[in-house]
A and B are shown apart, each in its own frame.
Chain A
């Protein structure tokens, strides 16, 4: 196998692993916070429904977190196996957050084990909730640290290159690079948002499938409200990301927005298709790109004309941008209407159609996460470390990547199908109505 092939298969395998891992990682970051919110509300209001909600989410979380752990281990190792030259360089400058990530995860794993196996063990529910705090912090901190590494790939700093040698290395400066704040905040907040909408989809589905229990209504209202808050935050932080890109990675912004010529008063292009270098059927919002990039409708935005041909990312990332933004806006509107509707007692939000839309919102949110990551990663091309190392120079020279690709595809198929089967079976066998009844029946005996 020539090295071009090794590069190609390394890219495919990394993309596959990340695309699969990110589903479980996003849920793994977001759900602990949702469990925490539910259990906290339950304790504050002394409402058994919320406590049971937290408990059932925690059970499902065990499954998704397991897949997240094993695929996370896979991507962690694959970074060194598939991109050894990159990791050799990265290890010198950005190893600190990678190292901290393992600690954060260590912390999370320990307390997750304790939290899961100590339900009803404490007289005071608050003590049990305390055990969840390290889980939620550890989960979010893992996301923060690993996203810092990704931010570094986009905006490397904290070192100098002198005659091909790395000198003046400053690990903290490397961590606090310009891409870090917007990227970290966007990743974390969209994880919360996605977790909320996925859980909302489940509650809506139960309501559609005949259960009219107040438990599901509370679950749906809670998750949609929280989802609304985080989707608004995600949009605001997304706007800040535009400003970061304009300042530090203008070629990524220009490629994502099909902004070819450097100009003032730049319009934002939404949707459309590219036909022989010409944009067709697009919606042009006047001044919007200038606002997104610089908070100023007349500001100049750098276009693709400023970059050499071989340093421009593939233009199809615009479609990924469209998908991400459309779903984000759609979910904000959907949850806003739902929230208003419940407050105002509109019949519409209780309708079948509306509930199906909420169910659809679960997979859509996951799709938005995928599109966002593809945009982030493809938008950095041809670089693996922007301005310093190209993807083709980073890959392994091993000739077995294609075989490994087949093996891992099989693994992810098994894990994906397995986790879905186990999750549905788990909740179908033990519906919430049944569990509520059981708990009432054994309440007297439970206290001992």
Chain B
């Protein structure tokens, strides 16, 4: 295993972590806003306060970790992606800021300023849309070199069906992941009403997720033949992912072990995400940038990997403690204990 592969695997893992925890967060915000519209707000407000408020900063760090790490391991990405992503990334930052401030301001502020809750909910849908554009761009065909510097062709980007397929996938995946998790969480909290509602949402969003995922495959076949062929070489991984998907849906339909159901869902996305990344290799940006020609020097790579291992040794016990207190502690989840400052 080369340093390049280790580096990109570390980053991809963190991006996957962000995908899951942020989806839960974004989706919950959207469902909350939606239930405000339909007058069922109290059902989700509780879950958001008890689970999302303590951990949103941790969620945010997964993203920061990814974009700082990618500059560290692959400095050339700053030149290509930094220049071209100014607009979508800036929009994502602003939307993230709205969400972050919501958690802080609403914890003590007046209960439920409606407009703010809507913005918070909608921001959760626009962020994945803005961020997923990066994946589209990485497939190539949207960046041209003008006078030696990269520039993004917005017209081509927004008229490409691939772009929209990925945007729709990101949205439905966010809602699907979130709904499955919240079904489990509400069930643990003993909140039957919320469980049923979230289970319904989960089943609604399951289908669009799988359809758009398949649609992207079809799009890639014409857009990026090389990537498509690489994916077909490991078709069995996507098949496995699909089986895990079926397992999740089956458990939801049968109203059985929601915890396992969420576990299968994480497995489904894990397999698909890594298979996609594996097939994307070695390109970071078709056709300009590979992990090999953009890689940092050896001294820095080794220093970063050592720092990463040392950091993990510190983080994993801490994360475990956090989850034990806010996710696996029955009294806390059921709202029996409130020890907020």
Co-complex (A, B): yes
B314 contacts A by Cβ under 8 Å: yes
Contact of B96 among A73, A403, A414 (CB under 8 A): A73
Q: How far is the CB of B312 from chain A (nearest CB, A)?
A: 9
Which residues of B from 268 to 312 have beta carbons under 8 Å from A? 296-297, 299-300, 303-304, 307-308, 311
What 0/1 readout, one digit per residue, does chain B (79-110) give for beta carbons within 8 Å of chain A?
10111111101110110110011011101111
Q: Is A398's CB under 8 angstroms from B341's CB? A: no
Q: Is B105's CB under 8 angstroms from A92's CB? A: no
Q: Is B108's CB under 8 angstroms from A59's CB? A: yes
Please indicate the chain A residues that have their CB under 8 angstroms from the CB of B89 in the complex: 77, 81
A121 contacts B by Cβ under 8 Å: yes
Q: Is A110's CB under 8 angstroms from B109's CB? A: no
Contact of A80 among B81, B94, B308, B340 (CB under 8 A): B81
B36 contacts A by Cβ under 8 Å: no
Give the complex CA separation of A92 and B72 in angstroms: 7
Q: Is A87's CB under 8 angstroms from B340's CB? A: no
A66 contacts B by Cβ under 8 Å: yes
Q: Is A91's CB under 8 angstroms from B321's CB? A: no
Task: Among A114, A115, A119, A166, find the residue whose CB has the most chain B CB atoms closer than 10 A.
Answer: A114
What 0/1 readout, one digit per residue, does chain B (17-56) give for beta carbons within 8 Å of chain A?
0000000000000000000000000000000000000110
Chain B interface bracket (under 10, 10 to 19, 20 to 34, 35 or more): 35 or more
Q: Is B307's CB under 8 angstroms from A107's CB? A: no
Q: Is B315's CB under 8 angstroms from A80's CB? A: no
B240 contacts A by Cβ under 8 Å: no
Q: Is the interface of A mostly helix, strand, loop or mixed?
A: helix
Q: Is B108's CB under 8 angstroms from A110's CB? A: no
Which residues of A from 71 to 128 have beta carbons under 8 Å from B? 71-74, 76-78, 80-85, 87-93, 95-96, 98-103, 105-107, 109-121
Please indicate the chain A residues that have their CB under 8 angstroms from the CB of B55 in the complex: 113
Q: Is A88's CB under 8 angstroms from B79's CB? A: yes
Q: Is A401's CB under 8 angstroms from B71's CB? A: no
Q: Is A110's CB under 8 angstroms from B104's CB? A: no
Which residues of B from 312 to 336 have beta carbons under 8 Å from A? 314-315, 318-319, 321-322, 325-326
Chain A: interface residue total (CB-CB under 8 A) = 77
Q: How far is the CB of A232 from chain B (nearest CB, A)?
A: 31
Known A-B contacts A59-B341, A80-B67; the reply to A117 vs B93 at CB < 8 A is no
Q: Is A425's CB under 8 angstroms from B300's CB? A: no
B337 contacts A by Cβ under 8 Å: yes
Give the complex CA separation of A180 and B85 in angstroms: 32
Contact of B61 among A109, A120, A414 (CB under 8 A): A109
Known A-B contacts A66-B100, A80-B71, A113-B322; the reply to A102 vs B64 at CB < 8 A is yes
Known A-B contacts A96-B307, A400-B86; the reply to A113 vs B300 at CB < 8 A is no
Known A-B contacts A69-B57, A117-B340; the reply to A396 vs B83 at CB < 8 A is yes
Give the complex CA separation of A393 and B221 in angstroms: 40
Contact of B101 among A70, A90, A172 (CB under 8 A): A70
Contact of A111 among B78, B300, B318 (CB under 8 A): B318
Please indicate the chain B residues that have their CB under 8 angstroms from the CB of A91 in the complex: 71-72, 74-75, 78, 296
Of all A-B residue pairs in the complex, the 7 with the closest CB atoms, nearest first, are A91-B75, A66-B104, A84-B82, A95-B72, A87-B78, A109-B57, A70-B97
Other contacts beyond A66-B105, A98-B72, A169-B300: 15, CB < 8 A: A66-B100, A70-B96, A73-B64, A77-B89, A83-B82, A88-B78, A88-B79, A103-B311, A109-B57, A397-B149, A397-B151, A404-B87, A407-B91, A418-B101, A422-B105
Q: Can you list 14 A-B pairs with a CB-CB distance of less than 8 A?
A: A55-B341, A66-B57, A66-B104, A70-B101, A71-B97, A100-B307, A106-B311, A110-B321, A114-B54, A115-B341, A415-B101, A419-B104, A422-B104, A422-B108
Taking Cβ atoms with an 8 Å cutoff, the residues of B that contact A are: 54-55, 57-58, 60-61, 63-65, 67-69, 71-76, 78-79, 81-87, 89-91, 93-94, 96-97, 100-101, 103-105, 107-110, 149, 151, 296-297, 299-300, 303-304, 307-308, 311, 314-315, 318-319, 321-322, 325-326, 337, 339-341
